[in-house]
Amino acid sequence: MDSTPAVSGVLAQVRVTWTEDAPATTAGRITAAVVHSSSAMLVLEAMDTEPTLPPIGTVLEVDGDKHRVSGRLAEHGRTGRFLVSIGDRPVRRALRLKVSLPGVVRAAGLEGARIVEIVDLTTGGARIRGVELPVGSQVTLDFTPPYRDAPVSVRAVVAHGTHRGQQPWIGVLFRLVALRGGR
């Protein structure tokens, strides 16, 4: 059970700071409004119309009038909005692209190859619609990434998914990517 107090759900103004905790990160500070909050996350909107935010995964300090919480930048949004993860909530470290790409999945738990649709894609994984496999299953995914002519073959492991859902899907973490046809 998370005992981190959430900042009031009513709009409040906070100061957000970060330090140089990684080579690509420079220290910074912005003022933001709290748009939504819970014990696990904050949705903030920068007061500056074009804020300079650190990379996803950067540790942030959020200071309000009554509370101070530490978290990690989980997502850059539109119009200055951003998501701060508090506590142990996982943070995606790569930009997620909404896509609709055809693919083929092969796994020991499937009878033959399965044609699927890739609906989310990052450099580290994907969400795949049209197949259901247990967490931990090893899969091979063949598809052509956006802006490439040649297909890739990816070895991956199932990290999560549906369990007997009407629209089955799995989330996979990429382990090994093999390019075909050169660059």
- DSSP line for 2-60: --PPPPPSS--EEEEEE---STT---EEEEEEEEEE-SSEEEEEESSSS-----TT-EE
> Does 115 map to a domain?
yes
Split at pLDDT 50, 70, 90, the class of 83 is: confident
Rounded percentage of the chain residues whose pLDDT exceeds 70: 84
Flag whether pLDDT at 103 surpasses 90: yes
Q: What percent of the chain has pLDDT over 90?
A: 35
For residue 108, what is the domain's CATH number? 2.40.10.220
- Whether residue 67 is found in the same domain as residue 120: no
Looking at 65, 85, 105, which one is the last position of a domain?
A: 85
Domain termination residue (choose one: 31, 59, 85): 85
Which has the higher per-residue pLDDT, 37 or 177? 37
Average pLDDT, the chain: 83
Domain range holding 40? 13-85
β 41-46/59-63 pair status: unpaired
Do 127 and 79 lie in one domain? The reply is no
My answer on whether 17 and 60 are in the same domain is: yes
Same domain, 37 and 110: no
* Residue 136, domain member (yes or no): yes
| pLDDT, position 116 | 97
d(CA 177, CA 76): 27
Chain segment 4-22, per-residue pLDDT in tens: 444 444 468 899 999 876 5
In a domain, 90, yes or no: no
Give me the pLDDT at residue 10, please.
46
How many separate helices (H) and strands (E) can be counted in the chain?
A: 0, 12
Distance of alpha carbon 55 from alpha carbon 183, whole angstroms:
27
Q: What is the pLDDT of residues 104-148, one digit of tens each?
A: 999 998 999 999 999 999 888 899 999 999 999 999 999 999 888
Whole-model pTM: value is 0.54
* pLDDT bucket at 24, cuts 50 / 70 / 90: low
d(CA 44, CA 63): 12
Domain containing 22 — which CATH number? 2.40.10
Q: Please give the tally of structural domains in the chain.
A: 2
